[in-house]
Amino acid sequence: MENLWNDNDAAQYANDARANGQPQALGLRVYTSRIIGKVADLVLHGGGNTSVKVTDADGTPIMHVKGSGWDLETIEAAGLPAVKLAPLHDARKGKKLSDPEMVALLRSNLLDPSAPNPSVEALLHAYLPFDFVDHTHSTAVLALANQDNSEDLMREIYGDRLAFLPYVMPGYDLSIAGADLFDRFPECEGLWLKNHGLFTFGDTARQSYDRMIDFVTDAENYLAARGITLPGPEKSDGTIDADLAGRIETGLRAGNSPFTSSLGMDFRTGPSIRKYLTNDALDTIAVRGTATPDHVIRIKPFPLILNADASAEDILAALDDYKTRYKAYFDRNAPNASEKKVMLDPWPRMILIKGLGLIGLGTNDKAASIAGDLGEQTARIINAAEEVGTFAPINEADLFDMEYWSLEQAKLQKK
């Protein structure tokens, strides 16, 4: 993983912040957020989050943390709303908060009431005792974090430099669990979140960023040393047969479809995608779950799988089967939810065409492109994960909780 830090660029961001009446640290936070966000193998489409702690003009400790809905690659100071730290620390001593209560706590302590909601992981950022905190969903890390023996792998690679956290639902629960974990291992330089990603932190923007890049590089090197190839993002190198694309589009627009009036289809193929789609166990591997929890709100819990020679009748039958399986997934899990859930549309957002390529789907071209990006990354993650051992993402119940999590649904609707 290339380290993109540049002293001149960093100084420019710090100076620009000062010229705008902002803390230089906030300028550096914008800078390192952007150089993280521009690397697709660290974060994609609004994934990840960053923060910096400073002292306000009146001496009040505050934290600037990524606002919900912002993308790290293009973030500006306005995308890092400021929140008072003391009330957040006080809340840790109180009762367990529901996620809506957590959001209310964060909003009530914003310096600017019109600012966007702070990240759902803002409390963890607040409780880690470092000025700078970074969180990513690295491709290489996810290939290793999505293993049953993820903790053993982490210790083999990093020793005690990282602390291991079993999967915990993002939001309040993750914030408390992560903070408690750090309290037990205060010498660690980062947190390894099973099935989720990586946190690093430091006293300076560069220290936290360098740790992130170094730890991701260590994961990449671990794979490479075992002969496991993990290429970077690959551009599509082929096209889909027009007749097949037409049959798929016709099927997707049929019946009570969310795509009746507007349909985006983003076809991708390439070496890693074709390797994934020619895996003899594709029908099993592809339905295990998503590579990181929040992908489920973009691409559903499992894809639709088709043969390259699928007829119009085959496609309609496959779509009917998909909708039946999705409803069964909902019916299995909704009764266990703490609040009543209303089923989302049961149509796929990802199509895998065996041996050929994948199609990201959406109600517009942007949503389809995002799904395509996630599908391409997923192919590379699963290829590597299956060579390490077995791709083992979060279980169905946890996946359902994430897909139907009110906070994530609100973020998606905002986008």
* Domain co-membership, 335 together with 215: no
Q: Write the CATH number for 304.
A: 3.40.225
* Domain co-membership, 190 together with 312: no
Note the Cα 206 to chain centre separation in Å.
23
Q: Are the CB atoms for 118 and 106 separated by under 8 Å?
A: yes
Task: Give the Cβ contact number of residue 166 at 10 Å.
Answer: 12
* Domain co-membership, 263 together with 221: no
Domain final residue pick, 225, 260, 284: 225
* Domain co-membership, 370 together with 327: yes
> In this predicted structure, what is the pLDDT of residue 123?
98
Q: Tokens in use for 144?
A: 């290793």
Give the chain's radius of gyration (CA, Å): 22
408: three-class secondary structure by DSSP:
helix
> In this predicted structure, what is the pLDDT of residue 311?
98
Number of domains comprising the chain: 2
Phi, psi (degrees; rounded to nearest 5) at 357: 180, -175
Element (H, E) at 234: none
Q: Which residues, 6 or more positions from 284, have their beta carbon under 8 angstroms from its beta carbon?
A: none
For residue 138, give Cα distances in angstroms to 99, 187, 381: 26, 23, 10
Helix axes 205-225, 24-37, angle to 10 degrees: 20
Number of C-alpha atoms within 13 angstroms, CB side, residue 287?
A: 11
* Domain co-membership, 178 together with 56: yes
d(CA 171, CA 99): 6
> In this predicted structure, what is the pLDDT of residue 295?
94
Domain final residue pick, 198, 225, 252: 225
Per-residue pLDDT 10s for the chain (415 aa) are 999 999 999 999 999 999 999 999 999 999 999 999 999 999 999 899 999 999 998 999 999 999 988 999 999 999 999 999 999 999 999 999 998 899 999 999 999 999 999 999 999 999 999 999 999 999 999 999 999 999 999 999 999 999 999 999 999 999 999 999 999 999 999 999 999 999 999 999 999 999 999 999 999 999 999 999 999 999 999 999 999 999 999 999 998 999 999 999 999 999 999 999 999 999 999 999 999 998 999 999 999 999 999 999 999 999 999 999 999 999 999 999 988 888 999 999 999 999 999 999 999 999 999 999 999 999 999 999 999 999 999 999 999 999 998 765 555 555 4
Task: Give the Cβ contact number of residue 96 at 10 Å.
Answer: 9
Give a yes or no: residue 346 inside a domain: yes
Give a yes or no: residue 324 inside a domain: yes
* Domain co-membership, 256 together with 192: no
Largest CA distance in the chain: 69
Instruction: Please give the residue range of the domain that contains residue 61.
Output: 7-225
* Domain co-membership, 373 together with 334: yes
Give a yes or no: residue 369 inside a domain: yes
* Pairing between β-strand 304-306 and β-strand 132-136 as defined by DSSP bridges: unpaired
Q: Write the CATH number for 50.
A: 3.40.225.10
* Domain co-membership, 156 together with 302: no
* Domain co-membership, 291 together with 179: no
* Domain co-membership, 38 together with 117: yes
> In this predicted structure, what is the pLDDT of residue 68?
86
Give a yes or no: residue 1 inside a domain: no
Give a yes or no: residue 188 inside a domain: yes
* Domain co-membership, 220 together with 365: no
* Domain co-membership, 219 together with 257: no
